Every structure is written in structure tokens, then in C-alpha cells.
Structure 1
Amino acid sequence: MKKLQFLVLLSGLMFFAGSCKKEKEPEKKINLSNDEMLMVGSSNTFGFDLFRYIEQNNESQENIMVSPLSIDYALFMAYNGAKGETKEQMKSVLHTTGLSDEQFNQNNLNIMNALMNVDPLVQMKIANSIWHDKDFNVLSRFIQVNQTFYKAIVESLDFSDPQSVQIINNWVSEQTNGKIPAIIDAIPDDAVLYLINAIYFKGQWKYQFDETLTMPRTFYKQDGTQSNPETMVSQAAFRYYENEKFEAVELPYGQGNYSMVVLLPKTSSNPSEVISLMNSQNWDSWIEGMVEQESVVVYLPRFTFSYEMLLNSTLQGLGMTNAFNPEIADFSGITTQMEIFISRVIHKTIVEVNEQGTEAAAVTAIEFYNTSTGPDEPEPKYFYVDRPFVFVIRERDTNAVLFAGKVMEP
């Protein structure tokens, strides 16, 4: 019995040169400075480190999706309040060594603005917020930096009032267009601060899938069983790549700045093997190696799923240990009123892929505790996603990775 799987990545910072059937406005591009390119590379390196660690430590066969960009921005805000060895560990895990704090923050602001404005045909929203207990004093410099460079809203709440949970969750729901209605169930007695990032993405395919061709088709699961998900079909000039482990196709959204890259493992491989190879250097090489094929027929299952995890052990496993240790965490750049540490990093994502396009959202919440508490048509190439796969959603000019996921069963 064949065992089949695939991966999908939503990405978006590279220029797409594919032809378009209708005349449209010239595609807007993001032109990065050297420092900004370094920042995107650092972000992607962290994102793939995170994705690999989660995959390697996940024994289940469940679907997975994380948003490295969302986790990045939440941690970036926390980074601005870290000091000493706590800050050095965060810098190492985030791969931001070599940049001053001013460069670090300015680059993030420039990239955030570019991502939200590059394609008028794609909805891309990034929002940040700071929520603190009314009796917890936050240093004005910490507030100012995160308002200036991360456009964070700041709210003081009575954390003992149950309504505060609903106020925070209402903000999360609004920023994700209702896709993620809540990030916390309750506020623990020792919690004094939340730093929250929310990302919302909605893009229509540049080349639509024909709904009349969608029908149940066989999908070969890794355990040897089969299912019959509704599978879509599209034929167009797509960019394509292949090596000994997998083949990949890039499906653009809107005017072409954003795309989904679907990585389909060879029948002799599987998603775990492909994910183990995913790092910033390989990713750049694979993207650069993609070549436009005049005709590619893509069979892609519709899929919708949500994913939630606590990132504490993952971030500690990557080397960010001090921040979670109440004895040695140093966030004196946030407050001098008391000693605080990170108690939880909560991450939630959701994705829906259909004939029209993709809608995805992510929320990351960092909770802090008080330590006391024309010519002849060529033969088309077929890209049949009938087994588990990996996906990435990216922005193509910058090559920044927004979401990365593994689909074991659509």
C-alpha cells in the first residue's frame, strides 16, 4: 500500500514572474535594505528551527500549522524588555545577533508595513497589543518602543475582573476577523501582563480552481489507510521544483506577491524527512531553483484545520531558558516594581483552503507572572497531492515565511 503525504508553506517575499491571462496593474514589489534582508533571514531561520523542533517532538499524526511571523512579533515585544543573559538567550534563539536594538526594531517596523501594503488584492493584517493589570507598573520606555515600532495598543485592566478575559478575547477575535475567537480562558491570579500578536491573511488564488472539477479523490495516509477528500483541480503556468526527496509547486495569490508553496514528498519519503531538511539556506535554494512550467495540473485537497499549542518547552528546547525561570529571568526593562518571568507562550492558528483561495490566522500570547507569584500546447506536468504534505505561505519579495504547516489528513 502506498503511503502518501504533503507539506504546505505560506510565504511571500519573492517576486513572481508568472504570466497573467488578464491585464492588471504592474505588480508592486518590496525592496529590502541589507539590514532588512538580514532580519527576514533571521526570522526564517528561527521559524524553521521552531517548525523542525515541533515536528521532531510531536509523536501524533495530527495536522500542524504554526506562524513563525506571529511568534516572532510577540517575542520581539518581550525582547525589548529583557536584560542581561535573558536578552542574550532571546537574541540567540531569534538569530538577531549583529543588529543593534534600534536597527532590530526599525527593520521590523519597515517589514511589517511592507507586508501589510504590498498587495491590494490580499488582506494581510498584523496587530500587536500590551495588556497589563491596573496595579502593575510598566516602564514608559517599554511602552513607547513597542507603540512606535510594533504599533501596539496598550490597555490597563483589572485582571481580577472576569470581564477582562472577554475584553482581551474580543480584541483577538476582531483582529483575526472572528477566525480565532479567544486566546485565554481565564487570567491566573499571578498574571500581571500579556503581550499579544495577531495575524490575519486572506488571499484569492491568482489562478482559480474550477469548482466544477472538484470531487472526492483518493488520499493515501501515512498509516496505509485511505480517505476521499474533496480535491480541487487547477491548470496554469506554475513555478515548480523537484529534488530526490520531494517535488514542489508554488500557487500565487492576488497579484503574485504572496504564494503557497506545496511540498509533496516522494513516495520513498515523508513529511518528517522533508521538514528535517527545512532551514533558511535550503529554503532559499529551493525557491531560487523553482522554474516556471508552461502547464502544470495541480490536484489539491480542500482542507481546514486549527492548531493550538503551548510553546514553553519548544522555546526552552531552542535555548530560551532564562525567560521562563522565576529565579533568574530578567525583564527589568519592562518593570522595576517586581520581578517577572514568562509563564506561558500560547499559540493558536487556523487555516482554510478552498477553490477561491486561503484564509488563515494566528495569535501568540506571552503571559508574564509575578515571581512571588501560443505555440503547440506542451504535455502538462501533473502535481497530484494525494498523500500527506507540507505547506508554507510566504511573501515573495522578502521570502518571509508567514505560516508553515503539515497536513496528514485533509
Structure 2
Amino acid sequence: MKPITRVISLALCAILLLGCAPSKPLPEAPSTENTPKAPEASKNNEALTMPTLLGAKPLLAPEFEKTPPEAGSSANEFAFKLSKSLFKKSENSILSPFSVWMTLAALSNATNAKVLPELLKSINAEGLRVEDINESVSRMLYMLTGNEGKDANSHNPLAIANAIFVDKSVALKEPFAQAFLDYYRGAAQNVDFSQPSSIDAINKWASEHTNGLITDIVKEIPRDTIAALANAIYFSDRWALEFNEAETEELPFKGIKSEAKAKFMKREGDAIPYYEDASLQAVNLEFVGGGGLLIMLPKNKDADALFNGMNADSFKSILDGIGPNSGKLLMPRFELFSDFELKEALEGLGVPLFDSMRLPLNELADADAFISAALHQATITVDEKGTTAAAVTVQMMSRTSLPAPTEPFSMVCDRPFAFVLHKWTPEAGAQVLFTGVVNQM
């Protein structure tokens, strides 16, 4: 594939590429079969980071009814809030708000009791206990990744990994380390943040858990860093009904900044999952392994405004309103990449973990900490065969220095559009995994 255009997105960039060569087979999702083992105590006398932990608890099956459903659905509301904060008008963007949400959910186990209510409110979990969130995450991991309770040979398009990298000068507190292992399958690894090798360790982990798609998320280590908590999410699946490559044709895409040629895929016929109202058209492209990519085409040609008006309820309403219809869909194949520094957006949503004066993360280790940098990279490729998407979030933590229609439809995505990649869970129904807008070719 060759790049068509490059646009600046927030601190760094978002890139849209069009595939002009024959599509390559989608890679298989990395195996998540092996549960992380409890970290062993380091043999280095200087390393104090690894408490002795019990083996990880089994992930909670969906039949477990104790967890309030709000604990899972809060991730969807957070998804749209964060997307609105980060998506820059008129530019291409791709984000995994689910990845960001999971890192903050994990850090609720390390948060100062006085600061905790603000954190829970910022991630739309106000009124819930940390235990509720942990159990909800366990259930979501069970359902989304199929780590446990499914045949090893079953189709599993989604992999989610969590890890914490800990400086050799500090010791993790056992309650946090055990909860991170039990509910998030979080592995712990010793590093020396005073050495460049710590950057290599995090980037290598990110690459390994995204099939080589995210390789350089960390470029420097903030001063006095003692830990880095990371989440990686990788999705790769084929369409339940693939597009016919022979019908792909080059057509103009009328972007906000300019018009450019793009390779348009076509689907035409009966029983296409379709929705339409006064403001938009939408098609839900379903995957072999469940879930789908919801493509939303605004009638006023403003994809940014469409996304800014969405929330978890409107997303659910669109999916609930989708039904089989006869018609035709034309949409370009596309590839996006975005690199975000999340601090400003998360602070704007009320996340209190960046204020070192409040000692927000005093239950993480034997040194009080705060988030000194919040990093996120995401990428997605959509073509005739299916979709591959990946994202990594890294929270760098430093030591504190102070305490339905009836007529056949025609939907031609030759202008800006928005999308949501989702997969079903009993917690939230369609769990939002990736969000994005395409404004330019």
C-alpha cells in the first residue's frame, strides 16, 4: 500500500493510506492462550519490585451476575467523550478508547481514596466500587478474547494484553499487583528507567502484542519514572461477506481539504444491515468472529459534527435500528494511523491522576506516584477481505517530589464519514473498541 496523504493530528500525526496493490491476507491475531504467571521475585538484590503473588484467578464467566452492567457500559460512554476530545476537525483519526479506559480502570486499584471518586466519575463509573470495575473487566476479557472457556481451535480475532514495567528502585504493593494479575491478566516486568533499554523493553512488548503494528510508542522516559502501565489491543478478522475485488473501482473521494482518487469497494444486494434517519445513513459490516464495523455517512457531509453529537445511547439506537435492506454500498478501502499524547484530553475529562501535589497513586508502590505522560497509538486497515486494527496505551508514572427504510438504499461514502468497530459483550451489548473519522484521502 502507498501513502495518499499525511495530516497532523494533535501532538503528532494521523496517516491515511490507500491500498493500490492486491490485498494481503489478514494476519492471525496473536495467541492469548497462556495466562500470565505471577511475577517472580527478582534475584537482583537491588530489585525490590515483585511481591510474591498467588496464581491468577479464573476470568469471570458471563453467567456471573453480581457485577452491575453499568461497570461495563461506562467504557462506551467514556469512548465517545474521549473521541470528541481528541479528534481534530477536518483531519483523519483512529483511536481505541477501550484501551485507554482499561489502563485507567486498572489504576483505580492504585488510586488514593480521596482522589478515587473523581477518577471513577471521569471514566463514567461514578457510584461503583473498584471491585465492580475489576469484575466487569474480567468478564469483558472472558467474552471479548475467549481466553478461557472456549476451544483452543475456535476463531479468536481479538487479543488484549496488559503489563506494568517497574523500576528496580521501587516495590509494587501486593494488593495492586494481585488485582492487576487476577482481573486484567497484567504481567509485571523489571526495568531500569535510567537506561535506554527500558524504552526498548516497552516498545518490544507493544510490537509483540500488536503483531508488529505498534513499534515505537515510547520515545523518551519522563524524569523520575518509576512505572509504566501498558495496554495493547489487536483485532484482525475477515468480513462475514467479503467484497468482490473485481468490482473495486477508482472513484473520487470529496475530502474536506481536497478531492482525491480512492479505491472503492462495492456491496450490492438484499439483506444488507442498514439504518437511515434524518441525519445519517449507516451500514454495519459484520465479521466472521462476531461484532462489526459501523460505517456512518452524515447527510450534511460533516463527519466531525456527527461524531460530536454521539454518545453511548445514540450508538446503541443506531445498532438497534439496523435491519436487512436491499441496496448498494460504495466505500473506499483505507488505512489510518494516529499518535496521541493524552494528558490534556484526560485532564479535560476530569482524570485527577496527573496532579502530583495530590499524591494520586499512593497505592501503586512504596513510592507515591502520578501520571507524568499518557501515550496512545492506533492503526486500522480496511479492505475487501476484512479489517485489522491495533492500539497501545502507555501510562508513564513518576515519583512525586512532594507529597429502517422501505426503498432500496444507495450509500456512497465518497465524502467524510465516521466509523465504530465493536464487539458484543453482556456488560454493554456492543462494546466500542475503536472509533474514527475519515475526512481526507
Shared fold (TM-score greater than 0.5)?
yes
Cα deviation digits, residues 196-248 of structure 1 (max 9, x gap):
0000000101111111111211111124x311111111235221111111110
**Deviation at 1:368?**
0.6
Q: Percent identity?
A: 29
Shift of 1:382: 2.0
8 Å Cα contact 1:122-1:204 kept in structure 2: no
1:385 aligns with one of 409, 413, 416: 413
| Cα shift at 1:380 | 4.4
Describe the shift of the 1:405–1:36 C-alpha distance in structure 2 as closer, same or farther (beyond 3 A): farther
| Counterpart residue number, 2:383 | 354
Offset at residue 122 of structure 1 (A): 4.5
The residue identity in structure 2 corresponding to 1:93 is S
Shift of 1:32: 8.1
Whether contact under 8 Å (1:297, 1:383) holds in the other structure is yes
For residue 114 of structure 2, what is the amino acid of its counterpart?
Answer: E
The one-letter amino acid of 1:99's match is: L
8 Å CA contact retained: 1:389, 1:406: yes
CA RMSD of aligned residues (A): 2.1
In structure 2, the residue matched to 1:127 is 161
Cα distance in structure 2, aligned partners of 1:112 and 1:344? 26
Distance in 1 separating the partners of 2:82 and 2:223? 30
The one-character-per-residue Cα deviations of 1:263-321 (angstroms, maximum 9, x if unpaired) are: 0010x34112211221111111121111211x33221101012101111011111112x
TM-score (norm 1): 0.85
Partner of 2:423: 395
Residues in 1 aligned to 2:388 and 2:338: alpha-carbon distance in whole angstroms: 14
CA displacement, residues 136-189 of structure 1 (integer Å, 9 cap, x when unaligned) = 121111111100100011011122222222122111100000011122113234
Q: Distance in 2 between matches of 1:35 and 1:280?
A: 19
Q: 288, 299, 303: which is aligned to 2:320?
A: 288
- Which amino acid is the alignment partner of residue 296 of structure 1? G
Q: What residue in structure 2 maps to residue 13 of structure 1?
A: none
| Partner SS state of residue 137, structure 1 | coil
Q: Which runs of 5+ in 2 are unaligned?
A: 1-60
| 1:325 aligned partner | 355
The 1:270–1:31 alpha-carbon spacing in structure 2 relative to 1, beyond 3 Å, is farther
Provide, for residues 112-131 of structure 1, a one-character-per-residue CA deviation record: whole Å limited to 9, x for no partner. Answer: 11101289444200000010
- Alpha-carbon deviation of 1:85? 3.4
Q: Which structure 1 segments of 5+ residues have no match?
A: 1-28
Matched residue, 1:264: 297
8 A contact 1:246–1:269 mirrored in 2: no
Q: Secondary structure at the match of 2:440?
A: coil
**Partner residue, 1:50:** 82
Shift of 1:33: 4.3
- Does 1:74 pair with 2:103? yes
Which deviates the most, 152-161 or 364-373?
364-373
Contact 1:121-1:203 at 8 Å conserved across structures: no
Shift of 1:98: 3.1
**More off after superposition, 209-218 vs 322-331:** 322-331
Paired residues of 2:108 and 2:130 also in contact (CA < 8 A): no
In structure 2, relative to structure 1, the CA distance for the partners of 1:155 and 1:399 (3 Å cut) is same
Q: What is the DSSP-based 3-state SS (H/G/I as helix, E as strand, rest coil) of the residue aligned with 2:218?
A: coil
TM-score (norm 2): 0.80
Q: Tell me, what secondary structure is at the counterpart of 1:324?
A: coil
